[in-house]
Amino acid sequence: MSAVPPCREFDLGPLGPRLDVAARSAPAAHGTGGRENQDNFLLIDAEGNARYLRNQQEEITHLAHWPHGHARVAVLDGMGGHVQGRQAAEATVAALLTLPPCGSATELAARLDALHAELQRHFDAAHENGFRRPGTTLTLLELRPGASALLYHAGDSRLYELTADQATPLTVDHVPATAMAMAGQLDEHEWWRQVHGEHRSQISQAFILGNAFASQTVLSDPLFPLTPLNLPPWLCHLPDRRAVELLPERTYLLATDGFWSCPDAWDWVARWPAMLGSAQTASAKLDILFTEIAQRPPAQLHLDNITAVALRVLAPATPPHDETALPAA
């Protein structure tokens, strides 16, 4: 790997799309800081240029093996309160740098599930009995030329779609309220109130850690995909592993939960479309979002790391005008 300039525009070739992409991470949403940043992000553009965090500092490298026209973006949140939460996120990013591009949701899920198991074995073997296994959220988009993006999601980070007047979550949080909804113990209104109307620092599944969906009393090693077969009707259109069509005139935001760790979370998130609407680039949108949460945070915002990746679909590049004229008949 060798250093390269930062990547901002992802051009996936003649089949498209062209994407305006930006990423940012901060060790605390407000206050004096001093906390370890257990978050991370990954950008791999269509030329194999990669950006991510290592030892809480940004690194920019080039992946010589990366095929032209494919891209990958992700956000990760190493679990706070667990030993080596940051290291779990960094180990996942390091492995994602070597993971070959995937052409289907099935292939992506199989490779990432295998990676999850491999990293479990790595962390388990590195520590003696009694060690609390670390974990990290992982919300990832695999960007394919001429095709829909592929989503893979584990944890309580989120993918949002922002239009001019609405912020829509495209992922389901892996939290106890979701487990209760899957068991028929919460209706849609109460689930929404607990998940999007407030913030609770509990998680039911994370990459490397495992899942508490299969059993609420024993942590299971494999991940537990949320699918139309096990989600309640109002969530069955949001499985963890699926194709996602990225549309023009929308902003897609992958973000960690430090952005909405406050009592009136949904009221705050609902302000984002108007707040970011005037910004014309992904980078400018993140400038506004990070400045706003640092200088004018929502009431009772919990001090936490914040990380986001913003994507915008750009118009296709205009081909050069060909002025060559055909000979007259």
pLDDT greater than 80 at residue 42: yes
Residue owning tokens 């940043």? 37
Residue 270 lies in a domain: yes
Query: Would residue 181 count as lying in a domain?
Result: no
Count of CB atoms situated within 10 Å of the CB of 146: 11
Tell me the two tokens of residue 261: 């760790």
In terms of residue numbers, what domain contains 81? Answer: 9-172+241-314
Using alpha carbons, list the distances in angstroms from residue 138 to 33, 41, 155, 255.
24, 9, 6, 10
Q: Containing H/E element for 286?
A: helix 282-295
Is 226 a domain residue?
no
What CATH number is given to the structural domain containing 80?
Answer: 3.60.40.10
**Contact, 253 vs 171, CB < 8 A?**
no
Domain for residue 207, yes or no? no
Whole-structure pTM value: 0.92
Query: How high is the pLDDT of residue 96?
Result: 99
Q: What pLDDT does 132 receive? A: 78
pLDDT band at 127 (very low <50, low <70, confident <90, very high): confident
Q: Does the residue 182 lie in any domain?
A: no
The answer to whether residue 211 sits within a structural domain is: no
Cα–Cα distance, 87 to 94 (Å, whole number) = 10
Q: Which range among 29-33, 61-65, 162-166 shows the weakest confidence by mean pLDDT?
A: 29-33
The pLDDT of residue 101 is 97
Whether 220 maps to a domain, the answer reads no
pLDDT tens column, 285-313: 999 999 999 999 999 998 899 999 999 99
Averaged confidence pLDDT in the chain:
90
**What is the separation, in whole angstroms, between the first and last Cα of the chain?**
56
Average pLDDT over residues 30-44: 79
Under a CB-based contact definition with an 8 Å cutoff, are residues 268 and 257 in contact?
no
The domain total for the chain is: 1
Residue 121 CB contacts under 8 Å (≥ 6 apart), including other chains: none
Write the Ramachandran bin of 210: left for phi over 0, alpha for psi from -120 to 50, otherwise beta. left
Task: Look at residue 29 and tell me whether its pLDDT is greater than 70.
Answer: no
Token pair recorded at residue 316: 């296709």
Sign for the pseudo-dihedral over CA of 211, 151, 247, 39? positive
213-258, pLDDT tens digit by residue?
999 888 999 999 999 999 999 999 999 999 999 999 999 999 999 9
Q: How confident is the model at residue 317 (pLDDT cuts 50, 70, 90)?
A: low
Ranking 41-50, 177-186, 313-322 by mean pLDDT, the lowest is: 313-322
CB 212 within 8 A of CB 179: yes
